[in-house]
Structure 1
Amino acid sequence: MSVVETESRQGALWLWLNRPQRHNALVPELLADLRAAIAAALQEQPVALVLSGRGPSFSTGGDISGFLAHASSREELISYSDGLVTELHEALLDLLAFPAPVLAAVNGPVTGGSTGLMLVADMVAMSDQAFVQPYYSEVGFGPDGGWTALLPERIGTAKALQVQYLNERLAADVALELGLVADVCARAELEPRVDTWIDGIARRFRQTHQATRQNIWDDQRRSLVRRRLEQEKSRFLELVAQPETFEGMQNFTRKRA
């Protein structure tokens, strides 16, 4: 079974993260499937691309068990981490370059690097039971997925720093107030709400949507994001192999268990 499912609806393509038993936590297989699904969607030319998650969570970021399983040596852990973060960041850049509107239906918690999938979406609908939270300072990781590359532009530098320093949980209503999401609704209403957006998009000129998105996410702006994501990855790799980070991962896993 693919860990990313594709569904065609109303001329739009929905990409479903599909590791519900692990809260759609990120592993190389999921990110490879996601990038393949995005590439295939380019050929379909949908009126919109929608990201969502199966199960109780949208995605809880990098799967800590994956890091621990590759921690038998410093070199192995760095190699695994490099591959994972590279694939995540390339997926984000793929989405920024996508010609059609990119939407997100955030069905549950979104934490760590998975938050980037929200940050690159043009319009986000969030369940009223969902939240956003970094968790990096609880483990010892460097932030990835756009927490420093994209978030300050969205909510301001001071607020972006505060959220990460204090590991603040942003409930759905707070995310709405900060402009991270466009709408908040009950989970049962999430898909119909996004379907309404898609209907509105489909009734208007596709060429205008494409021009608008390409003007906003032009080569220069995406190049800046790429450079800042590379900086995130570099800092992540510096920290992930530190002894205190390994201890942080173990402690975090024990608390979750």
Structure 2
Amino acid sequence: MTTGAGQVVIDEADGAVRVGLNRPTRHNALVPELVNELDDALDQAAGRDPTALVLTGNGASFSTGGDISGFLSHAGSREELLGYAEDLVGGLHEVVLKLLSFPAPVLAAVNGPVTGGATGLVLAADMAAMSEQAFLQPYYCTVGFAPDGGWTALLPERIGTAKALQIQYLNERISADEAQALGLAACVCARSELDGVIAQWLRMLETGSRATHRATRKNIWDDVRLEQVRMRLDREKSRFLDLIVQPDTLAGMKAFLQKRA
């Protein structure tokens, strides 16, 4: 059963719920509308009591993070830009927290590139399978943004503080193989094999106790730990809002789009 004809599509099969980002012509770049639909989709998925949640992107990319064109289209005034950024980054952070507290295992099928704040969707997954073409990259320092989506709230705990800083300072690209070596991906495969890997994981989850899986996840992402992540995400958002209205950041966004064009 598939529902949703907008920027997020929900598909239910074999006891699992698959949620796909569905803005492929924009490489699933994040805008408030997509983030709001994703938030609603996670509520719907949780209500279906699935064996697992699978998060992926439709098209060539998983997601290229916040849509810079969206920011610039709301840069007519400081207040308008701040309101747009608050909606987008605040909404993304609520989605990350919902993924961390989801009542079933969360799997990410990373079909292509992941940049900027969209990386938080992968960091919030329990297990990620990445296609050979996929990679993670921050891009914050090339534009002038402050990190969001968990680059400072979640990544240092996963790979160590020094490595997390190095990647962000130097805007390093984390290939799929390096992501696996760092523990950010459980598997790297050809893109054509991605669905098969996820299907295998789902079959293995089915053989175990659903109650045990959920208890394990809830023990790890308990209220204390979730509150710490929320505080760090709030700090990320505050600093993002501080920088988004700076003249250098506006110039950086325009230069980034011109270079891409």
For 2:204 and 2:14, how far apart are their aligned partners in 1?
11
The 5 A counterparts of 1:47-196 are 47-196=51-200
Identity of matched residues, %: 63
How far did residue 215 of structure 1 move?
Answer: 0.1
How far did residue 117 of structure 1 move?
Answer: 0.4
Counterpart selection for 1:35 from 34, 39, 43? 39
How far did residue 202 of structure 1 move?
Answer: 1.0
Query: What is the number of equivalent residue pairs in this alignment?
Result: 257
C-alpha distance after superposition, 1:194-235 (max 9, x if no partner): 110001001111000010000000000000000000000000
Question: Where does structure 2 lack aligned partners over 5 or more consecutive residues?
Answer: none
SS at match of 1:235: helix
For 1:105 and 1:59, how far apart are their aligned partners in 2?
12
Paired AA for residue 68 in structure 1? L
Stretches (4+) displaced over 2 A? none
For 1:170 and 1:92, how far apart are their aligned partners in 2?
20
How far did residue 9 of structure 1 move?
Answer: 1.9
CA RMSD of aligned residues (A): 0.5
Partner of 1:243: 247
Question: Where does structure 1 lack aligned partners over 5 or more consecutive residues?
Answer: none
TM-score by length of 2: 0.98
For 2:194 and 2:35, how far apart are their aligned partners in 1?
24
C-alpha distance after superposition, 1:94-123 (max 9, x if no partner): 111111000000000000000000000000
How far did residue 249 of structure 1 move?
Answer: 0.2
SS at match of 2:252: helix
How far did residue 8 of structure 1 move?
Answer: 1.0
Paired AA for residue 155 in structure 2? L
Counterpart selection for 1:219 from 205, 212, 223? 223
Paired AA for residue 198 in structure 2? V
* Structure 1 contact 10–199 (Cα < 8 Å) conserved: no
TM-score by length of 1: 0.99
